């Protein structure tokens, strides 16, 4: 039986300084038209697990400020171990790192910066006026195209999915409300999960078939401590923009907003384009 998201995010002590988790095929990044084993555990899940392993394994209580994660190899759908390390602890800021993988095969490595918020000047130019999520209809991804992990996400596109050339000649951008299907209040792990919850935005600029890519690294900057009152029903509004495609690489930026319009996070992701078959 496929894991729930809560089960997929549950890390347990392995008794040797690491934290163990079962990676389930229900979170595969393969399209649902293909076997789960054709893909690997998707990047948002691995980012959430990396941050969770640092927090849980090192007893960090301060909010996550920045997560930088590199995807070194595709993990397998079996038990994995995340091993965290405190690089430098401090009263106001802590720097940690973690590796995650299976046996000698390291799948991800990540750096985390944690720190407490303090009183000081405030400037929030990213605050947005959003179309309310209640005005939008659920728009699940096509089962032949959408990856397996998207079954754990509810999508509501602001102006449609714009797939395969609808943004041709225009800014390659995409807006979408998302939440995890358990409708739990938005927290750190779920936000990291959702920051990688859509297809590459350059899909909106090029015609079908899609140019497949693999995530190489991702950086997420969280802008506010995530308390249950920020989004009690789990919703956040995401806006993604492709910044560059060329030389076999793509760079994409995103911003996440709470339902009241306050900015929650910035994300930048670099992808390696896969050679086309033909």
Report the CATH number that the domain containing residue 245 is assigned in CATH.
Answer: 2.40.160.210
pLDDT at 277 over 80: no
Residue 196: inside a domain: yes
Residue 121: inside a domain: no
- Which structural domain, as residue segments, surrounds residue 235? 5-116+134-273
CA angle 166, 169, 175 (to 5 degrees): 50
Integer CA distances (angstroms), 124 to 77, 117, 121, 127, 224, in order? 41, 15, 10, 6, 11
pLDDT at 32 over 70: yes
Rounded Cα distance, 159 and 242, in Å: 17
Rounded Cα distance, 12 and 82, in Å: 10
pLDDT tens digit sequence for 93-112 = 999 999 999 999 999 999 99
- Number of domains composing the chain: 1
Q: What is the pTM of this model?
A: 0.96
Bridge partners (DSSP) of residue 264 are none
pLDDT band at 2 (very low <50, low <70, confident <90, very high): confident
pLDDT at 263 over 70: yes
């Amino acid at each position: 039986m496929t894991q729930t998201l809560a089960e997929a995010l549950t890390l347990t002590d392995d008794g040797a300084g690491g934290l163990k988790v079962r990676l389930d095929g229900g979170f595969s990044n393969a399209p649902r038209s293909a076997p789960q084993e054709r893909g690997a555990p998707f990047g948002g899940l691995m980012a959430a697990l990396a941050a969770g392993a640092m927090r849980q394994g090192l007893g960090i209580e301060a909010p996550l400020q920045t997560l930088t994660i590199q995807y070194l190899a595709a993990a397998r759908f079996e038990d994995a171990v995340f091993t965290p390390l405190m690089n430098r602890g401090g009263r106001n800021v802590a720097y940690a790192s973690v590796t995650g993988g299976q046996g000698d095969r390291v799948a991800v490595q990540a750096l985390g910066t944690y720190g407490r918020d303090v009183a000081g000047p405030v400037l929030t130019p990213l605050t947005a006026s959003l179309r309310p999520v209640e005005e939008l209809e659920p728009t699940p991804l096509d089962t032949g195209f959408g990856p397996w992990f998207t079954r754990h996400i509810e999508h509501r596109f602001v102006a449609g999915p714009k797939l395969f050339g609808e943004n041709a000649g225009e800014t390659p951008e995409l807006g979408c409300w998302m939440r995890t299907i358990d409708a739990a209040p938005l927290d750190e792990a779920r936000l990291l999960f959702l920051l990688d919850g859509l297809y590459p935005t350059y899909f909106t600029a090029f015609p079908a078939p899609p140019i497949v890519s693999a995530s190489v690294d991702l950086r997420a900057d969280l802008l506010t401590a995530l308390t249950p009152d920020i989004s009690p029903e789990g919703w956040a509004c995401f806006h993604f923009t492709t910044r560059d495609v060329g030389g076999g690489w793509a760079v994409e930026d995103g911003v996440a907003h709470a339902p009241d319009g306050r900015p929650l996070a910035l994300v930048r992701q670099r992808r390696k384009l896969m050679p086309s078959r033909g």
